[in-house]
Chains A and B, each alone.
Chain A
Amino acid sequence: MTERYPGYDVLSKRWSASWNAQTRRVIDARLAVPREPRFFSAAEWRTLNAVCDRIMPQPTDRPAVPLAAYVDQKMAEDLQDGYRYAELPPQGEAWQRGLQALDAEALEAHGDRFDTLAPTVQDALLTLMQQGSMTGAAWAGMPPKLFFAHRILPDITHAYYAHPISWNEIGFGGPASPRGYVRMGLDRRDPWEAVEAKPGDEAAARRKNQNVR
């Protein structure tokens, strides 16, 4: 995959005017998220990791964003969205029940745990969930379709874009605090923003991105 923002590393702002002690604390905490589950059981954790790999497959030539760890953190620390669908139980309970039900569906259909199945088979099961076609008793009345659309998708994608690696990928400047943006017009760039490479102009973009502070 060609880089859209070559040479851009949002973490290079760490000691610049863009960040202060509070910014550094927040980012450090985010990078230091525990890689072992605090909320999920070992079985749920394996299933969760397998689901994350299918929902948000990641390149192998760079460290992966710890998606499952962020979902576990959100449940362990009870960081809620502020709203929830009435048909879904509270987020932690929904995740536990959904992962157990998915595993039960895998065992029922394929005789094996979800995380041990081939990616295409996993995708087929997730598609069934997305379509709301799963009817196993383990769902206990929770609609699989809603669980897919309002727990699996947002919790995993939000986790993905909470990490500096994905910020570099999309040229996001990171926390705009204490330094914000001053050039607000369309297509205007502050010197501390990432430069998007135009075809044939990658070298210039790389040079400018290495000066982003």
Chain B
Amino acid sequence: MSRATAVATSGLAVLGAVALVLGERSNTAPQIRSNPIDPGAAVRAARRMNRAAGIIAASVLADSAVEHYRGSFHNKAMVAPLVTSLLSLAVSIHGHTDKRPVAHWVRDTVYAAAALTGLAGTGFHIFNVTKKPGGFSWQNLFYQAPIGAPAALTLSGAMGFLAERVRDTPPGTSPTIAGLPAGPAVALATSLGLMGTVGEAGLLHFRGAYHDPFMYLPVTVPPLAAALIGAAAIGQTHRRRPWTRFWLRATAVLGFAGSGFHAIGIARNMGGWRNWTQNLLNGPPLPAPPSFTGLALVGLAALGLMEDHPDD
């Protein structure tokens, strides 16, 4: 590892850690309570999830803007993720500032639209791969529209939508989602979302032949976090889970560090950052990795929910 790499990496790790600390700033230390239920807990968890949904939305906004610009907006529908992720980002900021314990119909509508746009995008991308000569081949999975990318928009919308369900909790009751306890439900969604994102990173890093050892990080750290938060979802709720928390935090830091690594990857292309009009499009996707950060923050919110509502 070169000195520049080391400096950039540690710098980004610090940035990520600062972001995490700021994210935790308004929280009391997680405590195991049995009774009474903390009336602010649901809103606190919901706002954490709003922030996480916002980070994923920002990642999708920048990533789809770059990649669809590269695709010359050949299909008019290619502006859809830009619009919905921008709206998702806006309502996430609104949700972060909103401390009322009721869902907001605009946030709900935008989050649902973002989730559905992501699903439609996944359909489009799959269709694009199938209509290329060779259909579902490694070649097309590597070089055609990435199948996993629109799912990040779905995750932003879905996590935001879940945030509204968590927020919409009458005082004195525990948050539920479709009748299920919210903590485990969100934890399960986080685990699945992380798995999918790992699949996308794994496919594209395999395409890149893992030419840099750090390219193994997103296929080692987040899967561990996904397994732990998944186990938390189906396990007992009244338990402290320091390791789950640790690996989720590591995943969150990794999301930011990933952008730093990708920036180094761009610098390594011919002409480096001076040739950014080429290399931003041609090099590793700069804005993609923070999706991991967003998902990890959702997982941390889920852990908080389970610790705040241990009797669910």
Contacts and interface: CB of A to CB of B under 8 A. Distances in A.
B3 interface: no
B274 interface: yes
Interface string A8-52: 000000000100100000000000000000000000000000000
Chain B interface mostly = helix
A3 to B, nearest CB: 24
Interface residues on A, range: 10 to 19
B274 A17 contact: yes
A178 B270 contact: yes
B74 A188 contact: yes
B137 interface: no
A182 interface: yes
Interface string A157-186: 000000000000000000001111011100
Contacts of B236: none
A189 interface: yes
Interface in A187-213: 188-189
A59 to B, nearest CB: 34
Interface string B54-95: 000000000000000011101000000000000000000000
Interface string B252-285: 0000000000000000001100111110011000
Contacts of B74: 188
B274 A183 contact: no
Nearest to B70: A182
A17 B70 contact: no
Interface residues of B, number: 14
Given A188-B72, A188-B74, A189-B72, A182 B281 contact: yes
Nearest to B74: A188
Contact of B282 (A20, A182, A188, A189): A182
Contacts of B70: 182-183
Given A183-B70, A188-B72, A17 B270 contact: no
Contacts of B275: 17, 20, 178-179
A152 B311 CA distance: 90
B270 A177 contact: yes
Contacts of B281: 182
A6 B145 CA distance: 33
Contact of B278 (A182, A184, A188): A182
Given A17-B271, A20-B271, A179 B277 contact: yes
Contact of B277 (A17, A184, A188): A17
A178 B278 contact: yes
Contacts of B276: 17
A20 B274 CA distance: 10
A211 B278 CA distance: 17
Nearest to B272: A178
Contacts of B274: 17
A180 B70 CA distance: 13
Given A183-B70, A183-B72, A178 B282 contact: no
Nearest to A213: B277
A173 B165 CA distance: 55
A188 B270 CA distance: 22
Interface string B142-154: 0100000000000
B278 A179 contact: yes
Contact of A178 (B71, B72, B143, B271): B271
Contact of B271 (A179, A183, A188): A179
Given A178-B270, A179-B271, A17 B72 contact: no
Nearest to A182: B281
Nearest to B271: A178
Interface in B196-234: none
B262 to A, nearest CB: 16
Given A182-B70, A188-B72, 8 more contacts: A20-B271, A177-B270, A178-B270, A178-B278, A179-B275, A180-B278, A182-B278, A183-B72
| The 5 residue pairs across chains A and B that have the minimum distance between CB atoms | A178-B271, A182-B281, A179-B278, A178-B270, A178-B275
20 contacts: A17-B274, A17-B275, A17-B276, A17-B277, A17-B278, A20-B271, A177-B270, A178-B270, A178-B271, A178-B275, A178-B278, A179-B271, A179-B277, A180-B282, A182-B282, A183-B70, A183-B71, A183-B72, A188-B72, A189-B72
